[in-house]
């Protein structure tokens, strides 16, 4: 298979160094506020890459960090009047909840900056000993870019061109404007850890170098992240890691996903134009979100709109219907081999998910036609489900809800009377029953029992919204 690397700017044959285990590091989030669909896009793309590598027979050791100490965390925690660690903890819990709902496989390890201080300090000490970094009199430590001959090789820029746009914070004792912080001396009231240069906290870039070295070793097979991390974050990771180990390359393949745009701009917390993952999952299934993201190549930018995700919702429905289609006969079975070949060839070409998905839709069409003609479709359906699973599609009505414990909902259905003959197995069906039952009760002026439904659902984290078009439900939290 061939994979494109940002470092070389071309597609190259991929096999892991040891032939078996792919060492993969993907930069994670700074848990200071709700994750948005831009994070979902990145997570879905790297989850797809990891799943496909596993489908090829490799073991993937997948490491993703949490930057759980940083200016934004400290600022927001101060405004909320809670410790920075508490804010980070809340958002990490929320992140896991949302990743599970999106059917993202869990990483092998989730290191956190605040838990990796010994390795971070060891790397900074090593860099200072080699002359690649220096400590200042005010307790900071910086990486010395002028000592690094190939600084700029990932973003394909020269040091001179970077200096033109550089802004140096007042008070920073830097030798060169592009030198970047490895350690930040403590300011009053900030969380701090002891170090040989005085109390403080690590810079952002150094944590990823320390975590990669500690959890994956000196050479990564794949390093991933959003295209907005190429400079300065990944450029700086390369500089630190290769200066520390003396080995090149730090990462053999650099993969960057294109950015998600809302309207004409990049979706970001700082611009304030974002849709949270929670909001998106209230309106769409995880499969729809995934089909929407993987409908474009991972390196391309993607525009988010309700209409596009709704179209993906209908696409997911088509795949689901084909996977469950019933044929009356078993003759002349539909052969899925050609579709599997197209799927694998597309994915082997730098994860061309758009073409792989096109093969799945064509297979779905063949299955539907075969079922109409009473041909055998079971083998083709097994292939459809398997390949959909390789890119993380569940083909379930609502992925996140498969994990919901239905017991309290069924108890509520019993309690308010007239339960259906077949008790629902999915949230969506339980909710449509309860909403219809509540409407009946209100019509019959049994308001107390009707209210019991609204209150009972509220206890289960479900909010009802009445409008002239009817009653809608959503997960409150």
Residues that bind Zn ion (CB under 5 A): 27, 208
Contact call for residues 304 and 129 (beta carbons, < 8 A): no
Q: Which is nearer to Zn ion, 208 or 357 (CB)?
A: 208
Q: Which is nearer to Zn ion, 27 or 220 (CB)?
A: 27
Closest CB 123 distance from Zn ion, rounded Å: 14
Q: Which is nearer to Zn ion, 256 or 290 (CB)?
A: 256
Q: Which H, E and C letters describe the chain, residue by residue?
A: CEEEECCCCEEEECCCCCCCEEEEEECCCCCCCCCEHHHHHHHHHHHHHHHHHHHCCCEEEEEECECCCCHHHHHHHHHHCCCHHHHHHHHHHHHHHHHHHCCCCCCCECCEHHHCHHHHHHHHHHHHHCCCEEECCCCCEEECHHHCCCCCCCCCCCHHHHHHCCCCCCCCCCCCCCCEEEEEECCCCCCCECCCCCCEEECHHHHHHHHHHHHHCCCEEEEEEEHHHHHHHHHHHHHHHHHHHCCCCCEEEEEEECCEEECCEECCCCCCCCCEHHHHHHHCCHHHHHHHHHCCCCCCCEEECHHHHHHHHHHHHHHHHHHHCCCCCCECCCCCHHHHHHHHHHHHECCCHHHHHHHHHHHHHHHHHHHHCCECCHHHHHHHHHHHHHCCCCCCCCHHHHHCCCHHHHHHHHHCCCCCCCCCCCHHHHHHHHHHHHHHHHHCCCHHHHHHHHHHHHHCCEEEEEECCEEEEEECC
Q: Which is nearer to Zn ion, 207 or 287 (CB)?
A: 207
d(C-alpha 68, C-alpha 113), whole Å:
6
Closest CB 57 distance from Zn ion, rounded Å: 28
Q: Which is nearer to Zn ion, 208 or 274 (CB)?
A: 208
Closest CB 475 distance from Zn ion, rounded Å: 31
Closest CB 27 distance from Zn ion, rounded Å: 3
Q: Which is nearer to Zn ion, 229 or 260 (CB)?
A: 229
Q: Which is nearer to Zn ion, 123 or 359 (CB)?
A: 123
Closest CB 197 distance from Zn ion, rounded Å: 22
d(C-alpha 92, C-alpha 64), whole Å:
12
Q: Which is nearer to Zn ion, 27 or 312 (CB)?
A: 27
d(C-alpha 137, C-alpha 173), whole Å:
8
Q: Which is nearer to Zn ion, 27 or 230 (CB)?
A: 27
d(C-alpha 168, C-alpha 145), whole Å:
14
Closest CB 302 distance from Zn ion, rounded Å: 22
- Residues 6 or more apart whose CB falls under 8 angstroms from that of 410 comprise 423, 424, 430
Closest CB 208 distance from Zn ion, rounded Å: 3
Closest CB 223 distance from Zn ion, rounded Å: 8
Closest CB 332 distance from Zn ion, rounded Å: 54
Closest CB 85 distance from Zn ion, rounded Å: 20
Closest CB 26 distance from Zn ion, rounded Å: 8
Q: Which is nearer to Zn ion, 84 or 251 (CB)?
A: 251
Q: Which is nearer to Zn ion, 27 or 251 (CB)?
A: 27
């Amino acid at each position: 298979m061939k994979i494109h690397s940002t470092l070389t700017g071309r597609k190259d044959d991929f096999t892991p160094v040891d032939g078996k285990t792919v060492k993969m590091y993907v930069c994670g989030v700074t848990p200071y506020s709700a994750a948005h669909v831009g994070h979902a896009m990145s997570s879905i793309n790297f989850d797809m890459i990891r799943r496909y590598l596993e489908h090829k027979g490799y073991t993937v050791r997948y490491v993703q960090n949490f930057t759980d100490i940083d200016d934004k965390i400290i600022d927001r925690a101060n405004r909320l009047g809670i410790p920075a660690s508490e804010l980070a903890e809340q958002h990490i819990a929320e992140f896991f909840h949302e990743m599970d709902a999106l059917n993202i496989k869990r990483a092998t390890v989730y290191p956190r900056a605040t838990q990796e201080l010994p390795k971070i300090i060891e790397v900074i000490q090593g860099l200072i000993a080699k002359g690649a970094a220096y400590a200042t009199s005010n307790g900071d430590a910086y990486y010395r870019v002028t000592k690094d001959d190939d600084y700029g090789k990932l973003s394909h820029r020269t040091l001179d061109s970077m200096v033109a746009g550089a802004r140096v914070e007042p008070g920073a004792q830097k030798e060169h404007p592009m030198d970047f912080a490895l350690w930040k001396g403590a300011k009053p009231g900030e969380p701090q850890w002891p170090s040989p240069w005085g109390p403080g906290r690590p810079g952002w870039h150094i944590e990823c170098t320390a975590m990669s070295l500690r959890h994956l070793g000196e050479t990564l097979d794949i390093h991933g992240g959003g295209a907005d991390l190429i400079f300065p974050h990944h450029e700086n990771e390369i500089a630190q890691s290769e200066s520390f180990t003396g080995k090149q390359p730090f990462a053999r393949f650099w993969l960057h996903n294109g950015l998600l745009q809302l309207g004409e701009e990049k979706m970001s917390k700082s611009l304030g134009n974002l849709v949270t993952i929670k909001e998106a999952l209230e309106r769409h299934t995880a499969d729809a979100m995934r089909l929407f993201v993987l409908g474009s190549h991972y390196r391309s930018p993607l525009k988010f709109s309700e209409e596009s995700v709704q179209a993906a919702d209908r696409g997911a429905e088509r795949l689901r219907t084909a996977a469950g289609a019933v044929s009356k006969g078993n003759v002349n079975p539909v052969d899925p081999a050609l579709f599997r070949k197209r799927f694998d060839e597309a994915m082997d070409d730098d994860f061309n998910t758009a073409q792989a998905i096109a093969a799945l839709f064509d297979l779905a069409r063949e299955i539907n036609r075969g079922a109409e003609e009473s041909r055998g479709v079971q083998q083709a359906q097994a292939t459809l489900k398997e390949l959909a699973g390789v890119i993380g599609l569940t083909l379930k009505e609502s992925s996140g809800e498969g994990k919901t414990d239905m017991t309290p909902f069924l108890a509520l259905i019993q309690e308010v009377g007239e339960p259906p003959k077949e008790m629902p197995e999915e949230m969506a069906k339980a909710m449509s029953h309860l909403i219809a039952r509540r409407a009946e009760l209100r019509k019959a002026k049994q308001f107390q029992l009707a209210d019991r439904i609204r209150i009972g659902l509220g206890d289960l984290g479900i909010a009802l919204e009445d409008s002239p078009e009817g009653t809608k439900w959503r997960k409150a939290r």
